[in-house]
Structure 1
């Protein structure tokens, strides 16, 4: 097979990226696999590293880190024909939950050396790509508030504290959603555009989404009281909220959203541009290394 070219975020998962990749390197050497590794040094650096790798003719590029690192690498590889792999050694690893990327180093190496290639859809929100989930509202407010706690705490605690702070200042958004020639107006707390199913480190937000079906699954959580929203959250986390009257769901390959006040977009767990936003699905945009059977 082609040489494996790794782009490693060494600080992902509070240093897990470096630790687990050291084990991966040992396994690759044991199996005689050809590989090369480079390390990102700051946010956005993986984009430059991936671009340089493509220009140098690399044909199989592996993102090592969390969802942010995966997003940076994928944004370069969309529609290039270069095969992508993922070693989910970050904190949230939301794409890996549905795509089946193993977190165990030995199983991950098995996938890289003996898995298969499957063409995964990607999405575009305004001028930026995403693989997993985009949207705005409650989830972005959680992201913003989570950043306040990451300097003090590690692991999942910043996410949990971010959720608590966001709930205490729950925003209602006045928005218009247009898709397939239909425009609908809502007052809501969350809009999620799902190519994948999870966000926020394991919230099963869009359980009906499929990374390979050529469609987004879109959710609008309509206006509701704080107490009712809190009661909905456990269902939302477990993926049991579909069919609830406050959950508006539809499937489409393209949509646009306008909001009375500009709202920042979630792009695979990172902050992106703002509304108004246009979303477009790119079917089969990335040939992805996945475990045999996925």
Structure 2
């Protein structure tokens, strides 16, 4: 029986050194060595995961597994778009949005065990201009908090909540043009998947392989409305909010008087652009589920 090559790309920052040492030990003890021939790579700088994954595509490696959070998954996944190489995930991040959406276990031992009986499927890929994302992207308060959160040492949901609470009182609504109409919004989120991560369902009707982008627009809330929306967010019921507008399509356009700050799969990015186009590539990424 011919063994299949499988590359593991580890972000040593996400989750901590001790956790990754344990995961590597679990790979050695639990991965089916009669099926796979594994190779471990460690990223050394931003963008390194993309370079390693691109090399895997060039060498026709059938499986590449990202060990990290949503940012690492995005770095690896974007190199695999329109290739025959499948993306696997061992989640170690704060949100783990795509892993949760694909029902990959959050416990490393169970995630590794699931690799031994892989099922692959094709999912859609979305783009903000040329930037690919697999879960969500957007502008407004969430992008602002993502930028602040990226400067903090602490990770995890609780630290993100603390950033959100602190920044809520300072944040000024974003003025923009959406679908030709003037808006003043708290946030606009585009979803290929239904959630940010941590089971926070911002575009709850989104499906990874349906060929559509879901969009949720949130108007500026009062503190009481914001607290109510947090409950709605985690119950998958954000569309019931009186401050929520919801759309579905294959392309959206946004304009602003200033360069946009966006978030994509949890990562902040200051765009050098006052116009954004959100588009979709159907079945553009092969994944292990």
Say if 1:159 and 1:200, in contact at 8 Å, map to a contact too.
Answer: no
Greater displacement, 53-62 / 275-284? 53-62
SS at match of 2:156: coil
Q: Choose from 135, 144, 148 the match for 1:145.
A: 148
C-alpha separation in 2, matches of 1:219 and 1:81: 32
Say if 2:54 and 2:79, in contact at 8 Å, map to a contact too.
Answer: yes
Q: Which residue of 1 aligns with 2:62?
A: 59
Gaps of 5+ in 2: none
C-alpha separation in 2, matches of 1:31 and 1:103: 25
1:90-123, Cα deviation, whole Å (9 max, x unpaired): 2221111221111223322232221211101111
| C-alpha deviation, 1:27, in angstroms | 0.9
C-alpha separation in 1, matches of 2:24 and 2:266: 22
Give the superposed CA RMSD.
Answer: 2.0
Say if 1:50 and 1:76, in contact at 8 Å, map to a contact too.
Answer: yes
| C-alpha deviation, 1:273, in angstroms | 4.5
Q: Which residue of 1 aligns with 2:239?
A: 242
Q: Which residue of 2 aligns with 1:79?
A: 82
Say if 1:146 and 1:161, in contact at 8 Å, map to a contact too.
Answer: no
C-alpha separation in 2, matches of 1:18 and 1:46: 18
Count, aligned residues: 284
1:24-48, Cα deviation, whole Å (9 max, x unpaired): 2221266663211111112211011
1:215-243, Cα deviation, whole Å (9 max, x unpaired): 01101112333442333222223322213
Q: Which residue of 1 aligns with 2:124?
A: 121
| C-alpha deviation, 1:200, in angstroms | 5.5
TM-score if structure 1 supplies the norm length?
A: 0.89
Gaps of 5+ in 1: none
C-alpha separation in 1, matches of 2:142 and 2:22: 30
Where do 1:265-284 residues align within 5 Å? Answer: 265-274=262-271, 275-284=274-283
C-alpha separation in 2, matches of 1:167 and 1:45: 34
Where do 1:30-69 residues align within 5 Å? Answer: 33-69=36-72
Say if 1:64 and 1:87, in contact at 8 Å, map to a contact too.
Answer: yes
C-alpha separation in 1, matches of 2:182 and 2:28: 52
C-alpha separation in 1, matches of 2:288 and 2:258: 40
